[in-house]
């Protein structure tokens, strides 16, 4: 005698499944949602509809009877919410870029060096020789040779003095400024060789600013 097949619904997803009568009470897995469930007993086929039911359109086929069981609810799953864009990573990247630009801008500001613009009046436009500048009591001259060595001189000194280090350079400029207490020199002239390093020129300017010499002039030369 062949086994009779019947159909029933999965209580989890409502999919229609089929099983044989000898599988009643066995545990199977739904092919649609993979939920494990017990095979229920087949529902009793409904009786043959009357003529009145056929005329009212309520007739159903008895061979399509489905097990009448209350669906089992697994968990309190509410309606799925639509996916929303998470803006947290974008905000983090924005703050990182802001911090980066603030840090780089501050470093750029620290590395700037302001120098006075040349004046167009006749006195400043008039060319002066190096000897005239060395004899001018308002000047302190810092010479940087091609080997990046500092030499300091002023009108009150007979010869220039070597400054092998930045600290010694600062000391020599201060002494040159104090050589005339009545009228201290106020202008720093940096005479740098064309092969001298730029950082040496900046060091000389920083030393002049440290001792209070706000007026600076730059001069380049190819002579040793």
Domains in the chain with CATH codes: 5-64 (2.20.28), 128-221 (3.30.420)
Positive or negative, the CA dihedral 205, 211, 212, 215 is negative
Q: Record the pTM.
A: 0.46
Q: What are phi and psi of 100, to 5 degrees?
A: -60, -45
pLDDT tier for residue 68 given thresholds of 50, 70 and 90:
low
Question: Considering the chain, what percentage of its residues have pLDDT values greater than 70?
Answer: 71
Helix (H) or strand (E) holding 102: helix 88-110
pLDDT computed for residue 76 by the predictor = 56
pLDDT at 100 > cutoff 80: yes
pLDDT of residue 62: 47
Q: What is the pLDDT of residues 121-180, one digit of tens each?
A: 544 445 778 888 888 889 999 999 999 999 999 988 888 899 999 999 999 999 998 988
DSSP helix/strand/coil, 83: coil
150-154 and 161-163 beta bridge pairing = antiparallel
Q: Give the three-class secondary structure for 196.
A: coil
Q: Residue 16: beta bridge partners?
A: 9
Average pLDDT (98-119) is 67
Which of these, 26, 2, 11, lies nearest to 67 by C-alpha position? Answer: 11
């Amino acid at each position: 005698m062949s086994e009779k097949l019947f159909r029933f619904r999965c209580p989890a997803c409502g999919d229609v499944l089929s099983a044989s009568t000898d599988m009643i009470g066995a545990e199977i897995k739904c092919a649609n949602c993979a939920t494990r469930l017990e095979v229920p007993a087949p529902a009793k086929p409904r009786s043959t509809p009357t003529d009145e039911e056929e005329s009212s359109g309520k007739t159903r086929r008895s061979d399509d009877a489905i097990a009448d069981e209350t669906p089992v609810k697994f968990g309190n799953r509410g309606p799925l919410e639509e996916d929303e864009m998470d803006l947290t990573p974008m905000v983090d990247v924005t703050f990182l870029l802001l911090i980066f630009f603030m840090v780089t801008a501050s470093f750029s500001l620290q590395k700037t060096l302001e120098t006075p613009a040349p004046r167009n009046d006749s006195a400043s436009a008039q060319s002066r020789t190096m000897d005239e500048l060395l004899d001018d009591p308002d000047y302190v001259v810092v010479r940087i040779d091609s080997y990046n060595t500092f030499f300091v001189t002023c009108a009150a000194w007979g010869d220039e003095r070597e400054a092998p280090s930045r600290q010694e350079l600062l000391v020599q400029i201060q002494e040159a400024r104090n050589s005339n207490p009545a009228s201290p020199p106020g202008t720093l002239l940096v005479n740098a060789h064309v092969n001298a390093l730029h950082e040496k020129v900046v060091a000389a300017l920083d030393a002049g600013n440290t001792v209070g010499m706000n007026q600076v002039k730059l001069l380049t030369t190819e002579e040793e």
